Every structure is written in structure tokens, then in C-alpha cells.
Structure 1
């Protein structure tokens, strides 16, 4: 593809999501509420795990606290900029800001993929290898594993940002999306993007497919182990422990696969699908993990001074 002109872009304009003008105020307030509750809900979980002595040394809740940090970060990167779409006037994003948004979204998003896999492995060890669990997954090891997910996520985000922005962008500058993401930005490049689209699909596809496969295999073993539990109450508690994680993995992975594993497509449903990992999932995580996890609820009661008793996972 030939360049439209010789001047490289210094800013982009995000078109946002299409909406009826009469709903402008409602949508602004709605996403403001979503963002506020996301930050407060995840902050509450983070504080609960940090303060409660029975939680902050256990790998499952260390991972949950890190998940809250990731959710707060992803929401902060995307939602405030989305809200600007519901205000008057054109508000461009600088070229460097677009690079940073794409990098941090894929950095935190891929870190979350790796963390979900690590959480599934933790549940596998706790349920299928209970006697060896304290050796195979203790607090120090869980922090080390979690650090590895951050390093891997930062590398993945850097690769995606470099692949996307090493191309020339010389016009037009209107990104038909609500944030700077790879498929939407690549459509504006003044060069052939076939290789980029292929590499992006393979790169993200490997991450999504490998993480999802490991999670699936972990839960196959977990389900088989749970079915061997004779006591109905024991099976119920085991399923309850894993239910929240399975729910959020499904809500997170399905939209990501829909968006990134179809190179060269421009489906209008992409924007709706992208709302799940960027705003809906970070909002739902605290509520699902709090409402379905008895220990978190008991820890909250202890923090606010209410009655509570210890429980076993």
C-alpha cells in the first residue's frame, strides 16, 4: 500500500462505540458507575487479602489480590477514555498515548491470561495433590510464579506494540474503535499489514490456546477428583471453590478469541465483545469471587468487626 502523504501521524481519533445521541448522558453515567464500582470492588478485595492474616499467606488469595490489581489497571487504561466518547467535542489521543494504551492493555491482558492459568494449576494441586500442596505451592513460590506472569506479560505487550507501531502511519487517523487495539490500528497503516496480522493471530493465538488448554486439562483432573469425593458436602465445597474461576475464565477468553483469532476481519461485534475483557470482567470479578467464596466473606466480616468463623477450603 502506498502512503497517502509523506507526513506521519502525531495523533489518532478514537470513534468510540456507536450509540443514540439521546443516551449520551446515560452511557456516560453508566460507565462512570462501572469504573467506580470496579475500582472500589477490587480495592476492597486487595485490602481484605492484605489485612486478613488467614488470607494473605495463602497462594489462592495472593493470586486473587494480583487479579484485582490487573483488573484495576485494565479498567483504568480503557474505561476513562471510553467515557470521553460520551462528551462533546473531538478528543484525539497522542501517538505516544496510543502506543502506551496498546502496550499496557496487552501487557496486563496477557498477564491476566497467565494468572488465570496459574490459578487453575493452584486449584489442581489443592484438590488433586492435597498432601503435596504445601510443598508444590506455598506463599513464596506463588509470589515467584506470579512475578513470572508479569515478566511474560510485559514481553508479550512489548512485542505486540513494536510489531504494530514499527509500520508507518500517515493518514487517515480515525481509529474505528473505542481504544487503540491491534486490529483497528493496523487498518490505518500505510504499508502491507499481512505479516503483522498473521504474526498477531499466531502470537495471541498461542497465548490464548495454550493457557486455555492448560486450564481445561487442569479442570478435567479437578472434576474427576471431585467426583471421587464421597461426601456430598465435600463435593459441593470443591465445586464452589472452582466455580468462580471457571465463570471468569469463560467470560474473559471467549471474547478475546472472537476478536483476535480472525485475522483481517472487521466485524461490528468486535467492539461489543471487547467491552467484556476491558470493562465488564474487571467489574464482575470482585462480586463473583466475593459472593461465591465463603472465606472472603468471613474475612470481610472480621475486618468490619462482625462475627465470623474459620472455614476450610
Structure 2
């Protein structure tokens, strides 16, 4: 391994992204798979942002948050996918030190911001269903902007702390990151430093960041469920549940993938990569599909746009 004085990295040192340990012939298949998924992410999320921005009927807090969610999905998948696809064709599979820092920083920023935006969306549904008469007052445009700004602020604080902690570690002779992007857990495996303090701070930071968002989501839906069960008409219950089903689907996909990732033991790195793939690329691909297929307003706008396109043609 070498002593610590000679094994420290410098800012000019590149890392190697090992990626998936498969036969060379499968690299082409993986490239095409990533390309297809990324194309669907671009199409779905840019389309969702465009629909929300152009149709006045979707000028509500719920769709305001959905537009921000689509932007975040588009952003953090773009941090990961292009470099991963380039490395499928590259023999060196290298990423610069600055590029690795940028990946860690931006990914942490957007993934934390997404958690808070999902919590804000849960609060929005709670107000809409449990206190509908005051909805327009309580969910003002100012509050919506503040909630999104707060989401990015928390994401930025978390990202700065996580990135600075990771890249002040001393790295050993090996520069090979056993992942398809610069993942903090994989970077820890390259470190010669004592990780006790790092792990304590990381766990504390994760608890402070993740727990509040989960609590807000769970509590919001407990109140929503209680309110919906008091609705006597079947049609009323169905309408109330339909407004929440899309959001619940998105929350389940994201948190399910994240928990699977962090509950996967380090001794199964390939399984960890598959779990990472779920929340870095699969989740941003599915979110627009979930909202477009499960949301009546979005389906109506899409239908209107398609009819207009057919009329022009």
C-alpha cells in the first residue's frame, strides 16, 4: 500500500471508474441500455417541464413542485449517465480528480434536494386534502418558492460537507473506483485514513437530512389516510387517493432504491451497482411515466397536444 506520505492523492491525479465487470461484448449492450434510458429521461422530464410551463391549467403548487422534481431528476441523471456511457468505449475509463469531486458534489446536491421536494409535495397533498378551504392561502406562491429554495439550501449544505469530508481522506496507491460513477462508499474503500470520525459524521448527516423528509412524508400521509377514510362517498375517496397515488409511487421507487443500495453489504459490489443504477437512472426515467399515466390533468394536456399536432399535420 505504501506509507501515507507517498500514497496521498494530488489534485492532478485521475481515478479509474471500473464500471460493471462484464465481458467486453456486453459493454456495447450496456452502452445501448444506458443510452436508451438516458434518452427516455431527457424526453420524459423535459416534456414534463414543458407541459407544466406552457399550460395554464397546471399553474398550481402541485405542478410547480412536479416541474422542479423533473428538473432535479434531469440534473442528477445528467451528472452520471454521459460519463458512464463514455467509459463504456474508453480503454482508460479515467475520470479526473476535479471531475470526481464535481460528480460527488452535484449528485449529493440534487439527490438531497429531491428528498426535500418530495417532502414538500407530501405537505402540499396534506393541505389539499385535509384543509382544502385554506389551500390557496396556505400554499401560496411565496411558500412554494421558499420550500424549493430551502430544498436546494439543505442539498448544498449536505453536499459541501459530504464532498469536503470525502476528499480530505488520504487515498492509497489504488485509484480504481469499483463503480460506474464517483460514489462516496466506493471512494472510502480506497482510503488509508481512519474512517471512524468520517462514518460517525456521515451517519449523523444522513440522519439529519433523511429522517425529517421521511417523517414529513409519513405523517402527512397518516393524516391524509385518516381524512380520506372519513369521506363517505366512494367517488370522493377515489378522487382523493388518485391525487396522491402518483406521488406515493415516486416516493416508493426512490426511497426503495436508496434503502436497497445502503442495505446492500460492501462484499457484493456488483449488487450495489445495480441498486445505484435504480436510483440514478431508473427512478428519473420512471417519474415522468408515473405522473403522466396516473395523473388525469397531465393526460388531458398530453391528449390536447397530440390532437393539436394531428390537426396541424
Normalising by structure 1, what TM-score? 0.91
Which residue is equivalent to 1:185? Answer: 187
Alignment pair present for 1:228 and 2:234: no
Q: How does 1:114-129 map to 2 (within 5 A)?
A: 114-129=116-131
| 3-state SS in 1 of match to 2:16 | strand
CA-CA distance at 1:113 after TM superposition: 0.4
Which residue is equivalent to 1:255? Answer: 257
User: Structure 1 residues 303 and 140 mapped into 2: Cα distance closer, same or farther (>3 Å)?
Assistant: farther
1:75-126, Cα deviation, whole Å (9 max, x unpaired)? 1011122223422411210001100100100000000000110000000000
Which residue is equivalent to 2:216? Answer: 214
Normalising by structure 2, what TM-score? 0.91
Structure 1 outlier segments of 4+, above 3 Å:
258-262, 264-267, 302-307
RMSD: 2.0
Distance across 2 between alignment mates of 1:66 and 1:181: 24
Does the 8 A contact of 1:120 with 1:219 survive in 2? yes
CA-CA distance at 1:158 after TM superposition: 0.8
- Any unmatched runs of 5+ in structure 1? 308-313
Does the 8 A contact of 2:7 with 2:171 survive in 1? no
Which residue is equivalent to 1:311? Answer: none
1:187-211, Cα deviation, whole Å (9 max, x unpaired)? 1123112211221122113322221
Which residue is equivalent to 2:240? Answer: 238
Distance across 2 between alignment mates of 1:7 and 1:219: 48
| 3-state SS in 2 of match to 1:237 | helix
| 3-state SS in 1 of match to 2:169 | coil
Distance across 2 between alignment mates of 1:21 and 1:241: 46
Distance across 2 between alignment mates of 1:16 and 1:102: 16
Does the 8 A contact of 2:104 with 2:183 survive in 1? yes
Which residue is equivalent to 1:295? Answer: 297
User: Structure 1 residues 234 and 165 mapped into 2: Cα distance closer, same or farther (>3 Å)?
Assistant: same
Does the 8 A contact of 1:14 with 1:178 survive in 2? yes
Say how many residue pairs are matched: 305
Which residue is equivalent to 1:39? Answer: 42
CA-CA distance at 1:306 after TM superposition: 4.7
| 3-state SS in 1 of match to 2:133 | coil
- Any unmatched runs of 5+ in structure 2? none
Distance across 1 between alignment mates of 2:103 and 2:237: 43
Q: How does 1:7-156 map to 2 (within 5 A)?
A: 8-9=9-10, 10-56=13-59, 58-156=60-158
Quick check: which one's helix share is greater? Answer: 2
Does the 8 A contact of 1:99 with 1:161 survive in 2? yes
Which residue is equivalent to 2:6? Answer: 5
CA-CA distance at 1:169 after TM superposition: 2.6
More displaced 10-residue stretch of structure 1: 228-237 or 154-163: 228-237
